[in-house]
Amino acid sequence: MDNVICTVVKSSSFNAISYVNVSDNAYNLMKEVCAALRVHLNTFKLIEEESAPPLVDKFGWCTWDAFYLTVEPAGIWHGIQEFADGGLTPRFLIIDDGWQSISKDGEDPTKDTRNLVRGGTQMIARFHRFDECEKFRKCKGGSLTGPNHPPFDPKKTKMLISKAIELEFAEKSCDKAALGDEPKALRRL
């Protein structure tokens, strides 16, 4: 498409400006618009003019985003392997909640609380020792790459989290139903 220039406008300054551009490709459209605005506004640089900050060399991965509380050694191993297969190498790894030894009040303080899946459920428990939980203690060096490596099913993590969300909604619905009559009674007062 050819650029169209308006020859009717004769002013050198404006309080506001409207810029219109058309393209078949949304990415090219944005590049063209940004380039034109850069010239007129002169208040920013295009990404091509910027240098990448040093932080980009420190790419890392936090397991919370992938696993929440369902984190396990085999999942971490497969996650790192997926990054490597995609040509990325995380420079650091944060193993978030789900690795630690915790127990709830009233439970055996020497045994780990099991089946914590939803975020927040770990908050009602406490460290009983500053060590990894049983699923991490069982993992021995080299066991993730050996012939009898533990299985990993990424669908299991998603299924556990989905079920936990379903339970959370069901609990909230029950709580609302149990409290349903109270707000009506308070409105009558």
DSSP result, the chain: ------SS---S--S--------S-HHHHHHHHHHHHHHHH-SS--GGGSPPPGGGGG-EEETHHHHGGG--HHHHHHHHHHHHHTT---SEEE--TTSEEEEETTS-TTS------STTGGGGEEEEEEEE-HHHHT--TTTTTSTTPPP--HHHHHHHHHHHHHHHHHHHHHHHHHHTHHHHHHHH-
Q: Is the pTM of this model over 0.85?
A: no
Residue 183 confidence (pLDDT) above 80: no
188 — pLDDT class (breaks 50, 70, 90): very low
Least confident segment among 29-43, 53-67, 121-135, 173-187: 173-187
State residue 189's pLDDT score. Answer: 38
Mean pLDDT over all residues of the chain? 79
Beta bridge partners of 125: 104
* pLDDT over 70 (residue 179): no
Q: Which residue has the higher pLDDT, 128 or 39?
A: 39
Q: In which residue are the tokens 């010239």 written?
A: 39
Tell me the pLDDT tens digit for each residue of 13-43. 777 777 788 888 888 898 888 898 888 888 8
pLDDT in tens, 49-84: 888 778 777 889 999 888 888 888 999 999 999 999
Amino acid, res. 109: P
What pLDDT is stored for residue 108 in this prediction? 83
Which residues have a Cβ under 8 Å from the Cβ of 14 and sit 6 or more positions away? none
pLDDT attached to residue 118: 66
2 vs 111 pLDDT, higher one: 111
User: Which tops the pLDDT comparison, 87 or 171?
Assistant: 87
Q: Is the pLDDT of residue 186 over 50?
A: no
